[in-house]
Every structure is written in structure tokens, then in C-alpha cells.
Amino acid sequence: MELVVTRQKMTLYIGREASKLWKRICSETSTEINLLLDNWKYLLAGLVFQYIHGLAARGVHYLHRPGPTLQDLGFFLLPELGQDKGYISETLFSCVFLSFALWTFHPFIFKSKKIYTVLVWCRVLAFLVASQFLRIITFYSTQLPGPNYHCREGSKLARLPKPESVLEVLLINFPRGVIYGCGDLIFSSHMIFTLVFVLTYQKYGTRRCIKQLAWLVAVIQSLLIVASRKHYTVDVVVAWYTVNLVVFFIDKKLPELPDRTSGNLPMLLPLSTSKTKEENQKLLNGNSVDPADWRLRTQVNGKVLEDANGIHVDTAMNGA
């Protein structure tokens, strides 16, 4: 009898929690859709540039000329993993990418949330685009002989034959063309993504132990890239200070994300009505607005709150 009662309570509890989770997901989805409608151009531009970056990396492969591997301090200090163990660095990078992507979507599941998914990815793509733009300029300026196994003398993949059509170049032979690319060395694309993800979590993440682990993983990723001979040490070193500087300066220019952790305040979107925009334009032009609309406006998290009596009392702000 007690077992039956326990099962019934457990069923009720699971049903109640599932209902709360579903409501949370629906609410967050509605919020993110509104943000997506306002910021889709930035996301699309960032995604398009990812293709442009891949196209540039494919293009420099046509210019690549294999040669003797350059002297490198990292190659002297780190033992070569070997061609059969080159997957280790790629596996670690995949784990970093997947874990960061899952973290950016945690507001759909968890109660405690600090970020908006759409706004975080807008920020991340801005960092990536700026870093990749500098990377394209760098690896087209000087083509170094690739240290990777498929880029060395004697490999059939070290040189690409002249393309037969423009379509062959535009398709970039994905994913094989990306995995077995040569010539796009300075500076490491893997480190761009890794450092941007780590720096973003450093600012918006909440768990200190994960932040420390993330920096440790970034260091291990750097060592594995050199040990697997996918990049020279200079490619990794340049990535470390370039990406940090890019993120530092661009982060100063971008508007700060709305804070979702301010007490019990409702999660409001940074949206404004068209009527408010028209009134602002009139004021900028020196024109008056309708006296009937002269109401005190208060802004909380970007949301315009109005009080028809001219007096606004925000009990949430006062902790009532």
C-alpha cells in the first residue's frame, strides 16, 4: 500500500515539474523569438562570414607550396603525437564547441539564468568575425609550408589542382576541404573559437570551477594542436594575444547584455513600441507630442512602463 502511495506521489511530482518545465520552455522560446526578430540580421551576417572564412581558407590552399618544416620551439619541446592520434585535438575541440553551445541554451531549461541566447550568440559572432577577418589578412600575407602530415612534400593533398569551375571553389569541398586544408596557418582558427568561448563564459558564466577548467582546457588545446603538428607554435601564440585583444576592444563597443539576475524583477525584453519611437522622433525634431500621452515613463531592463495618473510606483524595485 505504501509503495502504491509513493508511486502516486512520484507521478504527481513528475507531472507537476514537467508542466513547469514546459511552461518555462514556452516562455523562453517566446522571449528569444522576439529577440531573434530584432537581431536576425546580425546573426545572419555572422553566419555568412563563417562561409566567407571557409572560402578564404580554401582559396589559400590553391596557393600553398609544400616545403621543409620550419624550425619551431614547440616541435622541439612537445613529442609528436603521430598521424593516427591527430583526432585527439579535434575531439577536445568538439567537446568545447558542444559544451559551450549547450550552455548558451540553458535559459530554456533552468530557472537561474543570466543571459539571452540570441544576444550572446550575436556577441560571439561579432568576436569571431573580427578575429577571422584579421586571420584572413594574415595567412594571405605570407604562406608558410604546412607542418601537418597531409601538407608535407610527397602528399597528394599538399597542392590543389587548378579548379575547373567557380562552383568547385564556392562549394569548398565541405567537410573534407575544411579538414584537410593547407596554408591557413597564422593564426589558429581552433584557438579563435576556443578562446572566444572561454572569454564569453568567463564574463557571463556563473560557476567559478568551470571558468578555471575552461582556461585549463584552452591551454591543453594549444599544446595538442602543436603536438599534432596542425599548426606552428607561432600560430597558437598569435591567437592567444590577438583574440584576447579583439574581444577586449569589441566588448567595450557593444552594448551590455540585459541583466536577468536582478532580484525578482520580471524578465522584460528590450523592446519599444512604434508609438514611443514616433514620439522620440517628434521630440528630436522640436515638435510637441499629444498632451494626453504626457505620462511618466520608467524604463526597467529596456521595458517602458507607463502610469496613466502620472505617478509610477514600482513595488518590485522597492522590494515590496
- 121, 43 in Cβ contact below 8 A? yes
* Helix 117-141, helix 189-204: angle, nearest 10: 150
**Residue of 243, 237, 188 lying closest to 74 (CA atoms):** 237
Q: Is 150 exposed, middle or buried (0-12, 13-18, 19+ CB in 10 A)?
A: middle
Residue 172 DSSP code? T
Could you confirm whether 106 is annotated as catalytic? no
Spatial separation of the C-alpha atoms in residues 118 and 221, rounded to whole Å:
27
CA atoms within 13 A on the CB side of 307: 10
Q: Which three cell numbers stand for residue 14?
A: 513528475
The one catalytic residue in 61, 64, 184, 235 is 235
- 276, 270 in Cβ contact below 8 A? no
The one catalytic residue in 106, 190, 293, 314 is 190
Q: State yes or no: cis peptide before 79, omega within 30 of 0.
A: no
Could you confirm whether 235 is annotated as catalytic? yes
Strand partners for 304: 299
Spatial separation of the C-alpha atoms in residues 171 and 217, rounded to whole Å:
33
SS3 305: strand
The one catalytic residue in 231, 251, 290, 314 is 231
Spatial separation of the C-alpha atoms in residues 196 and 244, rounded to whole Å:
8
Spatial separation of the C-alpha atoms in residues 204 and 318, rounded to whole Å:
26
Could you confirm whether 231 is annotated as catalytic? yes
Q: Report, as residue numbers or ranges, the catalytic residues.
A: 190, 231, 235
